[in-house]
Structure 1
Amino acid sequence: EDAEGGLMTDGLIVLKKTKEPGVIQKMNPSDKKCEVLMPTKKTRKIKHQDMLLLHPGPVRSWELFEMLEAPMKATATKVKGAFEALQAGPQDLGALAELLFGEYTHQTAWAAWQVVLEDVYFHGTPDEVLAYDPQRVKDLLAERRRAAKAQQEHEEFVERVRKNELTEEDHEGRLGGVVDLALGEATGCALLKEIGIEQTPQNAHRMLLQWGHWDETDCPWPSRNRVNLAPFDPDLPEAKWASGAGERRQFAGTMKAFAIDPEGTLDPDDAISLAPDGKMWVHVADAAGLVDAGTPFDEAARERGSSVYLPWGVAGMLPPQVTEAAGLGLGATSPAMSFGFRLDDEGALHDIEVCKSDVEVTRMPYGEAHELIERGEEPFKTLFAAAMRFRERREANGAVGFQFPDADVSVSEDGQVAITEIPLLSSNELVMEFMLMAGEAAATYALDNGIPFLFSSQPAPAPRRAGLGTQ
């Protein structure tokens, strides 16, 4: 209403919620709504309580659009002067506009209201504008300067990233998010998103190499796969035989077992042998004989799950003292869980026996064992012949074998990566078939003796489709 109580039109208002300006074009007292021309050049019906009057007008429609196209802006000196003036007490928006611009018009009212909305020096309503406490203003301005400086530094950093011109400071403190993603410790990375690169661990790794933050020796795979590379507790006790180790059959002195492994294997865990009576044996390192459930050794093994071979070494599942005590061939004799069996002419297992044992083990690389097989030396000649009979039986029963190329990857002390092809030798086939024999022997023994067991199985192969051949 105007001063005489009549309905006022053409006044400049602002919506409380959206902060949009508008000009009142028509008022309807019955429903307490106004038709307001908006910056979109369309009219909306607005409730009285949803808007604030900034200037009584008259404001023409074209003046609203002109005001928005070329808005006025108060100088910093004028704002500070008005701030000091309002320390004496609140003023209305008209008085603030006059302090800032020297006059009260719809343009200066809108510009003055923008200063209030900045929420730095002033707050309140058009009827009562108040000045903030000076200390609050000082602290807020300092914080905004810090934020603006940080934003500028970040934008400059992103530009250096795009140009691959990172500084030492960038490497030391700004790439943590990329490293976390590469190591699998985060699921996303704000920096990669900002420069338009898909946020994957592989891309993070690639960019760290490209930026020179990492080199070829930085390996994220252990972290991604949660491999525990921490050293074992030095206060773990000496490895001693657990309470359930029991009596052991003494094979030492009666036959030799051979642990055939790749060069550099540190924890040999299986071996094969041929007894004088013709019975064949597979010996498995009896780590359980050293590790009671719930002991520090057991807890360490549970935490790691398995030994992991890395280019620069091995992250063992068990502490070194257990490996040294249980590894086959690391001592004069080795404790083992032994699976004995005979093989008939058709390659089927019979006369199966399982026992804890103490066996004399000779360690041997695959290359040396291959040469002994090729020369027909015993016991390798007999063991290999048995392995081939067992394979023929498996294949006759529908087994399918896949032979893929293998390689050894190593890293020298100066960071040179070497990839060496590993040929498939007769000794590889020998060990593979005997490990399968041991699995069948264990399963058969468990079934015959009612021992609960975990079995690995697969459905029978599907009939061959026409045209696919027989290989």
Structure 2
Amino acid sequence: MPSHQAIPRTGSLVVYKSRPARVLAAAEKIEIEIEGGQTKRVRPKDILSLHPGPVASLAELRPPEVHPQEAWELLEGTETDLKELAELLYGEHSPGAAWGAWERLSEGLWFEGTADALRPRAGELIERDRAEREAKAKADQAWAAMLERLRQGRIEPEDRDALGEVERLANLQGEHSRILKALNYEETPIAAYRLLVSVGYWPATHNPYPTRVGAALCNPELPIPGLASATAITGEPERLDLTHLPAFAIDDEGNQDPDDAISLDGDRVWVHVADVAALVQPDSELDREARARGANLYLPEGIIHMLPMAITEQLGLGLQAQSPALSFGLRLDAQGEISEIEIQPSLVQVQRLSYAEADRRLDQAPLADLAQIADRYRQRRFAQGAAEIDLPEVSVRLHEDEVLIRPIERTGSRSMVTELMLMAGEAAARYAQARELPIPYATQPTPERIDQPSSMAGMYAYRRLFKPSRTVVGEPGRHFGLGLDAYTRATSPLRRYGDLLVHQQLRQHLRGSEPLSAEQVSQRAGEADQGGITVRRAERQSNLHWKLVHLKQQPQWKGEGVVVELQERKAVLLIPELALETRIRAKQGLALDQCVPLALAEVDLAQAECQFRLLG
């Protein structure tokens, strides 16, 4: 059809960018009118002639609705042009019919080719494409309906799968979201969090942080060997029977994994620790799983264990009538120095006490004697430069949708247990060092300045000078904060992989078996440290989240903050009852360690922020 290639004349119908246009003037460049009345000057190659016209108005191009089936059947097996297709469809070749025929050709369902050479498509292709287009139209309709529901702040069950992309972005597991983009939201985790909460996909108090940092969210489920079968395989030495000694596992009320207990045998202190290494052998499936996790994850919502719960039920001290343990025996001289270190697999009979119950019995034997020994050890540590930072700490727990925040008080029994556990850690370190047994030692470099602050602001500033503790394998190094020249963590193998690794090495030595090499210990400790970093980040961010939930549920909250740092325009405050740090605009007259009255101003869970205002 040559007319489609020729320069069109005034009044003719052409196609410009897939839409109809009317030619107003034809010269070197062609002036056209497009829908809406706008005019343009275009090159001949930018347009396609459809009909010579005349076209008085583009509004005339409204051909009637016709079904192309009959025209398709008549043309089957042939090739034709747009003029004949218009006549078959509409019975005429008017501008409106030409435009209607062009639309049928452009849609690519019934016909294919060009205006000068078009042909009917194969029937099976038509059916396939029609089904695909209908499915797409249905999906587009569902998409539009979902977006409208989201704008209204609601969802239906069928929307949850689609919102998975928003959840991935909110959990830092994706970078883009088609839904957020369509709703003109920023494609950020904060915006994603807000949307998911606003439509009820997530509850208003949802804690995203364990998922965001990649922490394991469920307890491991692995087969557990029986203790008798495990000891038969490994050839355990006979257990020392210490069931005649009163032994006490002292911990917070409601503790679920008691892994240490204390006894006194004359002047010998015994620290008994759950004998996890008797069951969890190096490089076993249990060992690899615990190593990957690094530690128990303690969330306000509950505990995610690094080992199956069945191990705690079997080995937790005081959970059975008698408990297998790895016991650390030692004596303390008048200067608080450790001597006569003994490490033995043992059998103990343990009574469980809360710190409150233990405090009430601190004036009774044997706890009174253990407290005196612990105090002697503490005095030695501080004489050797140990540092004490006494800043507010709280326990955050979720109980039946209520956030419970309780202060952690440094009571006599808590201090006693802390010292006895440090004593066991030093004893384990010295025992391993003397036998050249590779274990992970905990060290901490000395800060640039040594101070002994007594005020909250002083302690806050001093803590910022502290360098992170480090794990070393080989020769132990000094741990500045503890005031010890040799120390390893060895009293929580149910809760921390590093402690379990120490136990595995000690157990191999006690069995007379070849322990892991320093290189193997270092590699395992490094893996566990990475898991521990994830766990601590999840715990820290989750505790803050639930503190903010607690405040959001109490919009009229009022309390006190202590000024711990003065900046150029702001002051840093600690709120003791929440162990929460906040910043407010500095006002003249504020001084370090000053207590100031505060009121809650705003809480933003999505940004993990809250604002307070000064009262008075």
Amino acid paired to 2:227? A
Aligned residues of 2:325 and 2:348 also touching (Cα < 8 A): yes
From 243, 246, 261, the equivalent of 1:256 is 246
Tell me which of the two structures has the higher relative contact order, counting C-alpha pairs closer than 8 angstroms and 6 or more residues apart.
2
Distance 1:323 1:245 in 2: 22
Supply the distance in 1 between the matched residues of 2:379 and 2:186 (Cα, whole angstroms): 50
AA aligned opposite 1:359: V
Q: Are residue 238 (structure 1) and residue 223 (structure 2) matched?
A: no
Mapped to 2, the partners of 1:180 and 1:189 lie a distance apart of 9
Q: Which amino acid in the other structure matches residue 78 of structure 2? A: G
> Which residue pairs with 1:32 in the alignment?
none
* Aligned partner letter, 1:41: K
Whole-angstrom CA distance in 1 between matches of 2:244 and 2:30: 106
Q: Distance in 2 between matches of 1:208 and 1:43?
A: 49
The alignment yields a C-alpha RMSD, in angstroms, of 4.5
Matches of 1:342 and 1:399, distance apart in 2:
24
Equivalent position of 2:404 in the other structure: 419
Q: Number of residues paired by the alignment?
A: 440
Distance in 2 of aligned mates of 1:445 and 1:117: 85
Task: Work out which of the residue numbers 390, 399, 420 in structure 1 matches 2:387.
Answer: 399
Question: Which residue in the other structure is 2:348 paired with?
Answer: 359
Task: Tell me how far apart the structure 2 counterparts of residues 171 and 402 of structure 1 sit (CA, whole Å).
Answer: 50
Provide TM-score, normalisation by structure 2: 0.58
The 8 Å contact of residues 255 and 273 in structure 1, kept in 2 or not, is answered as yes
Q: What is the CA distance between 1:279 and its match in structure 2?
A: 3.0
CA-CA distance at 1:157 after TM superposition: 2.6
* Selected match of 1:387 from 374, 377, 389: 374
Once the two structures are TM-superposed, the CA of residue 163 in structure 1 deviates from its matched residue by: 1.9
Counterpart of 1:456 in 2: which secondary structure? strand
| Structure 2 unmatched runs, 5+ | 463-616
CA distance in 2: counterparts of 1:340 and 1:290, whole angstroms: 22
**Quick one: structure 1 residues 43 and 154, their matched pair in 2 at CA, closer, same or farther if it must change by over 3 Å?**
closer
Asked whether 1:338 is paired with 2:327, we answer: yes
Q: Which digits, 9 at most, give the CA deviation of each residue in 1:61-86, with x for residues without a partner?
A: xx8xx87x658243321755544443
If the length of structure 1 is used for normalisation, what is the TM-score? 0.73
Counterpart contact for 2:247–2:261, Cα < 8 Å: yes
Q: Which moves more between the two structures, 427-436 or 380-389?
A: 380-389
How far apart are 1:287 and its partner, in Å? 0.7
Query: Could you tell me which residue of structure 1 aligns to residue 600 of structure 2?
Result: none
Cα separation, partners in 2 of 1:296 and 1:126, compared to 1, 3 Å:
closer
Return closer, same or farther for 1:143/1:246 CA change in 2, 3 Å cut-off.
closer
Distance 1:108 1:393, change over 3 A: farther
Aligned-pair distance for 1:433? 2.7
- Preserved CA contact (<8 Å) 1:9 1:58: no
Paired with 1:185 and 1:8, the residues of 2 have a C-alpha distance of 57
Per-residue CA deviations over 1:306-335 (Å, capped at 9, x if unaligned) read 444566765444345433332222334433
C-alpha deviation, 1:384, in angstroms: 2.8
Q: Aligned equivalents of 1:439 and 1:226: distance in 2?
A: 28
2:237 is aligned to 247
Residue 218 of structure 1: how far off its partner (Å): 7.5
- Report the CA distance between 1:205 and its aligned residue: 6.2
Q: How does 1:202-351 map to 2 (within 5 A)?
A: 210-212=198-200, 225-227=214-216, 229=218, 232=221, 236-240=224-228, 241-242=230-231, 243-244=233-234, 246-248=236-238, 250=240, 252-253=242-243, 255-276=245-266, 278-293=267-282, 295=284, 297-298=286-287, 301=290, 305-309=294-298, 314-351=303-340
Q: Deviations over 1:33-60 (max 9, x none)?
A: xx677888355596xxxx885358699x
Counterpart of 1:41?
40
- Taking a change above 3 Å as real, the CA distance of residues 205 and 393 of structure 1, as seen in their structure-2 partners, is farther
Which amino acid in structure 1 is aligned with residue 40 of structure 2? K
Q: Does 1:150 align with 2:139?
A: yes
Of 401, 422, 445 in structure 2, the residue corresponding to residue 436 of structure 1 is: 422
Q: What whole-Å deviation, never above 9, does each CA across 1:337-396 have from its counterpart, x for those lacking one?
A: 2333444555444444433333333221111112223xx323333333443444445455
CA-CA distance at 1:123 after TM superposition: 0.9
Aligned to 1:54: 49
Q: Distance in 2 between matches of 1:312 and 1:463?
A: 39
Structure 1: where are the runs of 5+ without partners?
A: 28-34
User: Percent of counterpart pairs with the same letter?
Assistant: 35
